[in-house]
Amino acid sequence: MSLPLLAAGEFARVIPIIEQALQTPSEWIGDHIFYADLADAAARQRDEPALRKYAPLAEASAQRISHRLYQAVAHRAWGVAHRLAGEYAEAAGRLNQALRMFEELDTRWQLGRTWLELGELAAAQNELPKARDCFQRALDDFEALRAAPDADHARAALAAVSV
């Protein structure tokens, strides 16, 4: 089961802009930021070809500079790519790695986004109690941050597996 994402069109517009920025030399910003953003946008769009293109670049560039946040973003992007391909064990491994890293960094919004992905993975495997738990955890994180659009998304996901 895959739920529609809120404002999916916004993410579709961001990829060409970031790709263009990659072509512009800059002394103050590293390409690791762009690759993390591209992988993240592809994950939000559920665009498997873009994920397969940008997740390895995001991962390599984040590892090169030992950037834990972007490493975790790359793990989550890989997790989404694996889920979309039906590679559930690989998806679980990557998503759980991202979750551990985001927990260590205490990045609540990123945790909520990762709980959403774990819920999607559980729902895809018809593990509805686990999906409900993951979606509820995401909702709790988003509500604590007052991240209304993300909370709405988590609520919709929770409702979809609670019927």
Give the whole-angstrom CA distance, residue 33 versus residue 4.
Answer: 26
Please give the structure tokens belonging to residue 1.
Answer: 């089961």
pLDDT for res 34: 85
| Architecture of the CATH domain 8-161 | Alpha Horseshoe (1.25)
Residue 2 above 50 pLDDT? no
Whether the predicted pLDDT of 118 surpasses 70 = yes
Angle between the 148-161 and 108-124 helix axes, to the nearest 10 degrees?
20
For the chain, percent of residues with pLDDT exceeding 90:
76
> Residues 66-114: pLDDT tens digits?
999 999 999 999 999 999 999 999 999 999 999 999 999 999 999 999 9
The pLDDT value given to residue 32: 81
